């Protein structure tokens, strides 16, 4: 069986995009985010849990995310990642450009087949 692609085989920024999208739906702590990403990408993608953290740090640094204290499902105090206004704006732009890109790719594929 073919191995599932890893996130680093995706286009650059894909992981960030997925994280932003997930967190914009609901602020989460790291483990919950990992679970969520695993759930939704189970069929397509293998994400090493640990890989999330460098990406999270990167996003904290550029200001797309911020952390606040919250509670986990087990009522433990945890750091919760939350999308900032800048992050929201970036997500919108990224979604737009990704859609454009895929539209482009789809068209090329469609035409190339004829």
Partner 1 sequence: MSWLRQLFSHRSRYQELSEPIREHLDEKIADLMDRGMTREQAERVARREFGNVAVIEERSREVWLWPRWDSLLGDAKLALRQVSRSPGFVLVACLTLALGIGANTAIFSVVNALLLNNLPYVQPQRIGTLYARTTGSHPSDERRTIDGEQWELLRDNVPSVLSAVSAIHPAGVVLQTASHAQYLHSGRISARYFDVLGIQPALGQNFTAEDDLPNGPRVAILSYSLWRTAFGKDQHVLGQVVLLKGEPYTVVGVLPEHATTPLDADIYTDLQPSRDGEGQTTNFLATVLLRNGFTWQEANSQIERALYQSHQTLEFARSNPDEKRTYYWMPLQQAQTQTLRPQVLALMLASGLVLLIACANLAGLALVRMLRRTGEIATRMALGASRWRIQRQLWIENLLVALIGGSAGIGLGFIALRSLLKMLPEHFLPVQHVPLDGRVLAFTLLLSLLTSILFGMLPAFATNKVDLRSSIGNRSVIGTGRARLRQGLIAGEVALTVLLLAAAGLLIHTLVHLETMSPGFNPNGVITAQASLDNVRYQDPRALQTLFRESLTAMQNIPGVESAAVGLTLPYERALLDGVTLSDGKQAGDQVTTNEVFVTADYFKTLQIPLLAGRVFTNSDGPSTQHVVVINETFARKFFHEANAVGRQLENNNKNAMVVGVVADTVLSSATHLVTDAAPLTDQETIYVPYVQVDDAKLLSMVHTWIQPSWIVRSAHPGDDLTAQMQRALASVDPGLPFSGFYSMSDLQAKTLAMQRIEVALLSTMAGLALLLSAIGIFALVAHMVAERSREIGIRLALGSTVREAMIYAAKSGVIAAAAGLILGLFVCAGVLRVLQSFLYGVQVYDSATFLSVVLTIAAVSALASTIPAFRVARIDPNKALREE
Q: For residue 32, give the H/E element and its range.
A: helix 30-41
Instruction: Give the nearer residue to partner 1 in terms of CB position, either 48 or 92.
Output: 48
Instruction: Give the nearer residue to partner 1 in terms of CB position, either 61 or 109.
Output: 61
Options 12-20, 47-55, 91-99, 100-108: segment touching partner 1 (CB under 8 A): 47-55
75 — alpha (psi -120 to 50), left (phi > 0) or beta? left
In terms of Cα–Cα distance, which of 11, 24, 38, 40 is closest to 98? 11
Q: Which residues contact 32 (CB under 8 A, 6 or more apart)?
A: 72, 73
Options 4-12, 29-37, 83-91, 93-101: segment touching partner 1 (CB under 8 A): 29-37
Instruction: For the CB of residue 103, give the shortest distance to partner 1 in the complex, in Å.
Output: 32
Gap between the Cα atoms of 85 and 95, Å rounded: 15
Instruction: Give the nearer residue to partner 1 in terms of CB position, either 68 or 114.
Output: 68
List residues near partner 1 by CB under 8 A. Answer: 29-32, 34, 48-51, 53-54, 56-58, 61, 67, 72-74, 76, 78-79, 81
């Amino acid at each position: 069986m073919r191995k599932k692609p890893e996130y680093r085989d995706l286009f650059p920024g894909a992981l960030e995009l997925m994280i932003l999208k997930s967190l914009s739906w609901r602020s989460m702590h790291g483990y919950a985010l990992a679970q969520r990403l695993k759930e939704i990408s189970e069929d397509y993608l293998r994400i090493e849990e640990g890989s999330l953290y460098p990406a999270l740090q990167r996003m904290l640094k550029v200001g797309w995310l911020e952390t606040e204290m919250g509670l986990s499902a087990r009522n433990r105090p945890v750091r919760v990642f939350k999308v900032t206004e800048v992050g929201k704006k970036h997500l919108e732009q990224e979604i737009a450009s990704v859609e454009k890109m895929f539209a482009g790719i789809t068209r090329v594929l469609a035409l190339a087949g004829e």
